[in-house]
Amino acid sequence: MIGPVALVETRCHRRYSVKNQQNDNNVVVENNQRKKLVILGTGWGSYSVLKHIDKNKYDVVVVSPRNHFLFTPLLCSTTVGTLEFRSIIEPVRSVHFRNIRDFHHSSAVKLDPKSKTLTCQSAVHPDSLYELRYDKLIIGVGAVSNTFGIPGVKEHSFFLKELTDARNIRNRIISNFELAVQPGSNEKIQDQLLHIVIVGGGPTGVEFGAELYDFLCEDVSRLYGGLQHKVKVTLIEANKILGSFDKRLREYAEKKIEKRKQFEIVQAVVCRVTADSVHLKDGTIIPCGLVVWSTGLSPRTFVQQLPFKKDKYGHILTNRKLQISDATENNIFAIGDCADIEGMPLPATAQVAEKQGKWLAKHLNEETQDDFTFSNLGMLAYLGGYSGLTDLKPRYFKFTGFHAWFMWRSAYLTRLGNWKLRLQVPVDWLKTFLFGRDISR
């Protein structure tokens, strides 16, 4: 790999503003006074650091296989065409790097803390491996959906973590409706194709079901007349749906969903998934045309092989300053879903990751030396049919119904990253309201 490594090093890391030297190990060494801060990932935590870090103090380099920031709270809305995909993403390069080569469209595959070196793999050219040195490192690579080792989940289920996942779900939904109306499609085939199973009753699973409900009520009857009554949605949860919400709000959500004729909540455990069915532990087999899996998080392969102390769930453990507890130097930090604070476990939410990123940027900017603290602002969820939940603090901000839906939309609209998205999203909502959802594949 000496030739390709040297080639990638030369093309990807040479700067025009300072003189660089390349040592015998094909590792780029930069000669300037600023420390080199490498950020892994472009999720809520990493992107928050990138936006708030003082670039006069650091040479900031971002390494991520995703070249955009994704506004995940509205991801479910793209699965049925309520919002367009590009309305909820912000290109990472819009943050304006000092040098155009400071964003690496790559994945970190290996870390050597002693030599302060990362081995990276290009996302554009996967055969290319190269090394990247750092002075300070922030690990914010997030997590992947947890399959719990259940057979068939990886092969036959759809996850809902990335924009590509939403696109794949949207295509499958539309394909199943088109197959259901093609010649030779009998009632049994239609029942199987139009049965959607959601595994996991957290906010993602419930909000995806809410978007499906709106799609069925507002568009299926108009576009696929006669099929709207054949569609069925089953939400499978081993415990209670929306378990992190207030009990009163959770009960409201359960009643709201169960009142819908074509929706069902099943308290059960999945033991197997096939191409056209879901098998439950009690022996029940549910024929279906789509399985969306949303049952918690699992560490990425990169995090699994890191030589640091972790908790029982595989999170990297940090101290109250978000530094990795057992790193030999205090130059490696971990934030977001891939990490947890020792003695202060926090939920794996966008709110936590964003606040960690903002605090860490202030800490690195030498604007604070206090420990990181977290105050939960609350949670929001959409239930469909212009109804939602707001579990905010203090207690009198716990709303249900239309008022909660209005607050849900208002809150997320104001949290979008830039004014371009804040204009695009309302336009998409208006187009959907006036003309219906786009069902193009």
Q: Which CATH number characterizes residue 133's domain?
A: 3.50.50.60
Cβ-contact 389, 252 below 8 angstroms: yes
Non-local (6+) Cβ contacts of 25 within 8 A are 131
Question: Which amino acid is it at 377?
Answer: L
Q: What is the pLDDT of residues 255-264, one digit of tens each?
A: 999 999 999 9
User: Are residues 358 and 325 part of one domain?
Assistant: yes
Last residue of a domain, one of 366, 401, 426: 366
Which of 109-113, 126-130, 414-418 has the weakest average pLDDT?
414-418
Q: Is 417 left (phi over 0), alpha (psi -120 to 50) or beta?
A: alpha
257 and 388, same domain (yes or no): yes
What pLDDT is stored for residue 23 in this prediction?
A: 44
Q: Are residues 107 and 211 in the same domain?
A: no
Q: Are residues 171 and 276 in the same domain?
A: yes
- The pLDDT value recorded for residue 391 is 92
Q: What does the pLDDT look like over 197-210, one tens digit per residue?
A: 999 999 999 999 99
92 in a domain, yes or no? yes
Contact predicate 285/278, CB 8 Å: yes
Q: Which of the four pLDDT bands, split at 50, 70 and 90, describes residue 395?
A: low
Distance of alpha carbon 42 from alpha carbon 144, whole angstroms: 14
Amino acid at 312: K
Q: Is the separation of the CB atoms in 387 and 405 below 8 Å?
A: yes
Residue 294 tokens read as 């949303």
Tokens of 163: 């924009």
206 in the same domain as 181 = yes
The answer to whether position 18 is within a domain reads no
The predicted structure's pLDDT at residue 439: 84
Spatial CA neighbour of 271 closest among 151, 373, 138, 170: 151
Domain match, 57 and 179 both: no
In a domain, 54, yes or no: yes
Whole-angstrom Cα distance, residue 317 to residue 308?
A: 8
Is residue 12 scored above 90 in pLDDT? no
**Residues 25-41: what's their mean pLDDT?**
72
Task: Please identify, among 366, 394, 421, the residue that sits at the C-terminal boundary of a domain.
Answer: 366
Stated as kind and residue range, the H or E segment containing 407 is helix 402-415
Q: φ, ψ for residue 99 (rounded to 5)?
A: -130, 140
- Name the region of 230 (left: φ>0; alpha: ψ -120 to 50; beta: rest): alpha
Q: What is the mean pLDDT of the chain?
A: 90
pLDDT tens column, 282-291: 999 999 999 9
Handedness of CA 165, 166, 169, 170 (dihedral sign): negative
pLDDT in tens, 211-243: 999 999 999 988 998 888 899 999 999 999 999
Rg of the chain over CA atoms, in angstroms? Answer: 23
How crowded is residue 432: how many other Cβ atoms within 10 Å of its Cβ? 21
Shortest CA distance to 130 belongs to which of 112, 106, 99, 148? 106
**H helix intervals, 14-120:** 44-52, 75-78
Task: Using the predicted structure, report yes or no on whether residue 30 has a pLDDT greater than 80.
Answer: no
Which position has the higher pLDDT, 29 or 302? 302
Angle at alpha carbon of residue 306, lines to 302 and 311, rounded to 5°:
105
Name the 3-class secondary structure at 9. Answer: helix
Residues 166 and 283 in one domain: yes
Range of the domain at 200: 158-295+378-435
Residues 274 and 316 in one domain: no
138 & 185 share domain: no
| Total structural domains within the chain | 2
Q: In this structure, is residue 30 part of a structural domain?
A: no
Could you tell me if 201 and 242 are in contact, meaning their C-beta atoms sit under 8 angstroms apart?
yes
Residues 288 and 427 in one domain: yes
Task: Say whether both 120 and 182 belong to one domain.
Answer: no
